[in-house]
Structure 1
Amino acid sequence: MARRSDNDYFTLFVKMADVALQTQKLLTEILADFDPEKLREQLDKLHGLESEGDRHTHELMKRVAKDFVTPIERDDIIALGRELDDITDNIEDVLIKIYMYNIKAITPEAMEMLKVVGQCCEKVSSVVTEFSNFRKSSTILKDIVEINRLEELGDNLYIQAFRKLYTKSGDPLETIAWSEVYKQLEKCCDTCEHAADVIECVIVKNT
């Protein structure tokens, strides 16, 4: 029988993945109805979710430091916690860059990339939910493969968005600004894949 403290780790992972998904959904709402005049207020709202994610991360690290026995290796707990926290951080950083570069309108390419980020976050949430039962789960490995596929799709969208930016835009400042935003969106997909990779490694080591 699993100890309560074991379940606490997996519960925290689920909470962290959920915060990342909520952050992506809020960012999508903000960009779908984009108003540069509201950006400062919206940044604060998004940062509230990021702070919630940080609280879960701190709780996770406190438990790792305190517990004599952990359900999986300490290094894996720490690695997964950091990756899940980084997903939320990277999503928040998309809006920070939009604010920093004073972007006035959102491109269709950005919305398409953000949609893929959302799909990645949904699958990460699904994988993390199944993580405590990975030996019996019939879906966790399929979802990890799907995250890998979505990350590749994100890479392709990133390449095409960059090509369009550098062949169509005549404004060098706009090119610089959107280059940074596209890089940040692609980074969100990468971090989702990194979290899935940590879980896959844990499964391999424990089965």
Structure 2
Amino acid sequence: MARKGENEYFTLFVKMSEVALRTHKMLTEILTDFEPDKLSEQLERLHELESEGDRHTHELMKRVAKDFVTPIERDDIIALGRELDDITDNIEDILIKIYMYNIKSITPEAMDILKVVGQCCEKVNNLVVEFPNFRRSDSIMKDIVEINHLEELGDDLYIQAFRSLYAKGGDPLEVIAWSEVYRQLEKCCDTCEHAADVVECVIVKNT
């Protein structure tokens, strides 16, 4: 049985993944009822969640620095913590880019990819909730495979969104803006897959 101090690592992983889920939910609500004039205020609200995630990350790193014994290798704790933090950061960066490029309406393609990002975040959350039991879990490898499949779906949607954007042409500035937003959306899926890869490596090394 893991000691209390060791369990704290897994608890922090869950807290970080929950922040990512809440950040995605807030972003989805903002883009569903999109009001460009309110973006500045909405960015502040989203940044509060990102800051909460940062606090969990700092707590994780402090524990790694001071604890003599850790439940898994230090490098793996640090790698997973960074990937979980990056998920939240990358979701926030979607809205930052929308604000920076002064985008006035949201494309259906963006919402389709954002939905997949949310599914990835949910699977990552399932993954870290189950992580303390990785040696006995029947579901953790299934979640890793599912995250890989979702990342591939995100890639497909990203490619189609890009093709549609350039096929339609239009205002070059708008094309540039959406190119950056689509890249950021796809990056969120990639980061979820990276988090799953870290967990998979831990399983391989410890079973």
Same fold (TM over 0.5): yes
CA distance in 2, matches of 1:137, 1:43: 39
CA distance in 1, matches of 2:204, 2:20: 25
Over 3 Å off, 4+ runs: none
Structure 1 residues 142-161: aligned runs within 5 Å: 142-161=142-161
State the match for 1:67 in structure 2.
67
Structure 1 residues 25-64: aligned runs within 5 Å: 25-64=25-64
State the match for 1:23 in structure 2.
23
- Runs of 5+ consecutive residues of structure 2 not aligned to the other structure: none
State the match for 1:81 in structure 2.
81
CA distance in 2, matches of 1:61, 1:109: 37
CA distance in 2, matches of 1:198, 1:21: 19
State the match for 2:201 in structure 1.
201
What code does the residue aligned with 2:176 have? I
Aligned length: 207
- Runs of 5+ consecutive residues of structure 1 not aligned to the other structure: none
TM-score (norm 1): 0.99
Q: CA shift at 1:23, angstroms?
A: 0.4
Q: CA shift at 1:170, angstroms?
A: 1.2
Q: For 1:132, what is the secondary structure of its paired residue?
A: helix
State the match for 1:108 in structure 2.
108
Deviations 1:55-106 (A, max 9, x none): 0000000000000010000000000000000000000000000000000000
What code does the residue aligned with 1:170 have? G
Q: For 1:105, what is the secondary structure of its paired residue?
A: coil
State the match for 2:184 in structure 1.
184
Identity, % of aligned positions: 82
CA distance in 2, matches of 1:198, 1:23: 22
Q: CA shift at 1:2, angstroms?
A: 1.0
State the match for 1:119 in structure 2.
119
Residue 94 (structure 1) aligned with residue 62 (structure 2) = no
Deviations 1:164-206 (A, max 9, x none): 0001031100000000000000000000000000000000000
Q: For 1:135, what is the secondary structure of its paired residue?
A: coil
State the match for 2:133 in structure 1.
133
CA distance in 1, matches of 2:57, 2:42: 23
CA distance in 2, matches of 1:29, 1:169: 28
What code does the residue aligned with 1:39 have? L
CA distance in 2, matches of 1:169, 1:14: 43
